[in-house]
Amino acid sequence: MPYSETCTCGRIFTTPGAMKNHQNSCTTSKKRLSAVLANAKELFAVQKAKRLEVLAIRRLGCEDSQDLVGRDSESSLLSNAVSSIT
Ligand SMILES: [Zn+2]
């Protein structure tokens, strides 16, 4: 049986790691986060919405925004970890 993973957005991936990679930018999965996908969401926020940080902060609220900024260095570590996995 070939490898297969289905993202919450409906896309099917047959290569290990491909879905994880996709989820970094998948807005659908972003909205249905488990603890695992929270990492991808954070990466997305850091990498893709850096310039929209102010807007994101408004959306997330003050508490989350502080948390997001505070974990910036941790996100870099996460990014490296994901890169090594994928
Ligand atoms: Zn997806």
Express each pLDDT in 24-80 by its tens digit. 888 775 555 566 666 777 777 777 666 666 666 677 775 554 555 555 666 676 677
- Taking the centre of ligand 1 as the mean of its atom positions, its distance from the CA of residue 22, in whole angstroms, is 6
- Taking the centre of ligand 1 as the mean of its atom positions, its distance from the CA of residue 70, in whole angstroms, is 27
Instruction: Report angle CA 57, 50, 37 to the nearest 5 degrees.
Output: 80
Q: Which residues pair with 65 in a beta bridge?
A: none
**How many structural domains comprise the chain?**
1
- Taking the centre of ligand 1 as the mean of its atom positions, its distance from the CA of residue 51, in whole angstroms, is 23
- Taking the centre of ligand 1 as the mean of its atom positions, its distance from the CA of residue 44, in whole angstroms, is 13
**pTM, full prediction:** 0.33
Rounded Cα–Cα distance for residues 86 and 81 (Å): 9
- Taking the centre of ligand 1 as the mean of its atom positions, its distance from the CA of residue 41, in whole angstroms, is 12
The candidate with the shortest Cα–Cα distance to 82, out of 35, 23, 34, 29, is 23
